[in-house]
Amino acid sequence: MFVDKVRITVIGGRGGDGAVAFHREKYVASGGPDGGDGGHGGSVILRVNDNMSTLLDFRYKRKYAAQAGTNGAGRNMSGKRGEPLIIEVPRGTVVRDAETNQIIVDMSTGEDFIIAKGGRGGWGNAHYATPTRQVPRFAKAGLKGQERDIIMELKLLADVGLVGFPNVGKSTLLSVTSNARPKIANYHFTTLFPNLGVIYVDEGVSFVMADIPGIIEGAAEGAGLGHDFLRHIDRCRLLVHVVDVSGSEARDPVEDFHAICEELANYSVDLSNRPMIVAANKVDIMDPDSDNLERLKAAAEEAGCEFYEISAATTQGTRNLMRIVAEKLRTLPPVTIYEPEYVEVIEAPADPSEFQIEHYGNTWLITGAWLERLVQNINFDDYESRNHFDMQLRKCGLFARLEEMGIHDGDTVDIYDFEFEYQR
């Protein structure tokens, strides 16, 4: 099964918690705090695998999470860093942010890309020892890893794209000019997914050609299979438009030529301006009295396209066509690599005094960027850590504002799902 577009969730590993520990050793007085830091969480990394040709592996598994970092320990021992999660994708996969649809990265160069960063490990209590606070009994909790929804879209890396209506001979042309063996039969939509073939023209001269499943009228709006596979000719430097001039299916070749050109323009203006060669196929079975060849040649030349006569079934003219294609490719720019559009916003350090208070009966809901990060850093299972949290809330002026607004003892304060009863 060919799958070329999927949506998945990637989650960086959570950082390990810092440790609360004190050095205890015989004959060593006042050992002091020696709680180690938590390990950083593992990141989710995308990597190109040239042996993959589809995104089928992602159809059934939609959530990918890296390993969390381990907690710190005594004797200043830091926790182990979480193992990164390597996700292998086919070359040519374009990754977009699911919310904005902007391109994050084009996996065509072969370089690894960190798609979700792991969370930082929390500091152990050894970090908080000062001359005035010699016995800190609290440590920071590890931070959550980055979580994001992404859309992966495979766009084939091919130099040349074969386009045309179903059953015009695109697969046959690919099979006789390369080692590719696409399914060939005398009915429409024989090809259900793109096929790639490497064309060897001469020593040191070769290119990749893709057979795109049959495009029909309305493909740009979703008709037929063309809508699903038009994206695979986005990168092609040159298009070879295969047209059946034999009239074997009672179709007019000129109308077919204009219809496909219109679909390409409807899908992408840039694609409609791509260099194109018109290959008039099935000349071996064309009616000698037919004027299809002359009319199609005139239409192609009017559109500024080079015109060649071939018969893929008998290989007539196919070798010459491939030589012409190779010569054209020498003058064209390289395969398109999409530039990133997504810009990750790096927030400035939050102001502790900036927070919002919402009052619902006996519940007070508190929100604020600085408070959200503070809650993530606190280990609420530890008594000293909770005292540190209480001190930070007093220092930022939260309790003073709550009292000004009329909070009563016993009211519930909710700060990012951490709830406690207020007591003066």
* pLDDT of amino acid 299: 95
Residue 28: the pLDDT is 67
pLDDT in tens, 153-208: 988 888 999 998 888 888 899 999 988 675 554 544 454 567 888 899 988 889 99
Least confidently predicted of 23-32, 70-79, 241-250: 23-32
Domain ranges of the chain: 1-154, 160-330, 356-421
Measured between alpha carbons, how far is 415 from 203 in angstroms, rounded to an integer?
A: 69
Q: How far is CA 96 from CA 14, 105, 287, 408, in A?
A: 23, 7, 50, 49
The predicted structure's pLDDT at residue 159 = 92
Class of domain 356-421: alpha beta
pLDDT in tens, 120-156: 898 888 887 777 667 787 788 888 999 999 999 988 8
E strand or H helix at 94? strand 93-97
Whether residue 246 contacts residue 283, with contact meaning beta carbons closer than 8 Å, is answered with yes
Is 224 a residue whose pLDDT tops 70? Answer: no
pLDDT at 66: 97
Task: Say if residue 414's pLDDT is above 60.
Answer: yes
pLDDT of residue 223: 45
pLDDT of amino acid 87: 96
- Tell me what pLDDT residue 184 has: 52
Q: Identify the pLDDT of residue 136.
A: 80
Q: Which residue has the higher pLDDT, 309 or 109?
A: 309
Q: What does DSSP say about strands 147-154 and 93-97: parallel, antiparallel, or unpaired?
A: antiparallel
pLDDT given for residue 187 in this prediction: 43
CATH of domain 160-330: 3.40.50.300
| Mean pLDDT to the nearest integer, 268-291 | 89
Q: Which of 204-208, 213-217, 242-246, 357-361 is the least confident region?
A: 213-217
CB within 8 A of 361, min separation 6: which ones? none
- With 90 as the cut, is the pLDDT of residue 67 above it? yes
Question: For the segment 68-86, what is each residue's pLDDT rounded down to a tens digit?
Answer: 999 999 888 999 999 999 9
Instruction: Report the C-alpha gap between 105 and 222 in whole angstroms.
Output: 26
Instruction: Answer whether residue 235 shows pLDDT above 90.
Output: no
pLDDT on residue 304: 93
**How far is CA 197 from each of CA 158, 205, 267, 291, rounded to the nearest angstrom?**
9, 14, 25, 33
Domain spanning 1-154, CATH architecture: Distorted Sandwich (2.70)
Contact assessment for residue 84 and residue 43, using Cβ atoms and an 8 Å cutoff: yes
The DSSP annotation for 108-155 comes to TS---EEEEPPPPPPPPGGGG--SS--S----BPPPPPPEEEEEEEE-
Q: pLDDT value at position 140? A: 81
First to last CA, the chain: 65
Q: What is the pLDDT of residue 320?
A: 95
Residue type, 5: K
Check pLDDT > 50 for residue 217.
Answer: yes
Residues in the chain: 424
Identical fold, 160-330 and 356-421: no
